[in-house]
Amino acid sequence: MGEADFNAESAEDGDMAVVDALIAERDQWKDRALRAVADAENIKRRAETQQNDARAYAIQRFAKDLLSVADTLERGLQSAPKDAEGPAAAMVTGLELTQKSLLSAFEANGLTRVDPAPGDAFDPHLHQAVMEQPSDTVPGGTVIQTLQPGYALFGRTVRAAMVAVAAKGSGPAAGGAYSEANTTGGNFDAKA
């Protein structure tokens, strides 16, 4: 092997090294370009999601403010005389129609009433337990009574329903376990 062959071979190796470096640089730029496109797509999707959420939940604060109006209207109807005549009967009918219209507007805008029936399972995402008491009619961990209905906007809780929940060990099969003199309920503190 002569000196000329060695120089030709090292020139070829040098050219290959340059080509390899260019290929590596090309791959690096290609990777960066693909990442930039992916980032742009992620930003676009995130912006669309945020925009959809903003549209869907824009009425949430307004709806929450109207819930007190709905509660007041419902309490007024509960205290209204059932056997009213004349102008009082017309007022009660008007209040009922107003409540029906308000609830229809809630439904039309995706605000649904959460009013669990006795025996429904307690759902901490939709219900707020304000008391726990023994029950002979429903099993433990289920709703005994709804004290105040809740509302959800497109599946997101705006206000949790306030409920009374049956204590552990409640139900028809419990056989009156809470009627015994020495039995206390749940978290009862006898020292208090």
Say what the pLDDT of residue 8 is: 53
Tens digit of each residue's pLDDT, the chain (192 residues): 555 555 555 656 778 889 999 999 999 999 999 999 999 999 999 999 999 888 877 888 888 889 999 999 999 999 988 888 888 889 999 999 999 999 999 999 889 999 999 999 999 999 999 999 998 888 888 999 999 999 999 888 999 999 999 988 776 765 544 444 444 444 444 444
- Phi first, then psi: give them for residue 22, nearest 5 degrees: -65, -40
pTM of the shown model = 0.61
Which position has the token pair 């390899």? 20
List phi, psi (to 5°) of 77. Answer: -70, -35
| Rounded CA separation 95/69 (Å) | 12
- Note the pLDDT of residue 52: 84
* Contact in structure between 159 and 69 (CB atoms under 8 Å): no
Sign (positive or negative) of CA dihedral 30, 36, 39, 40: negative
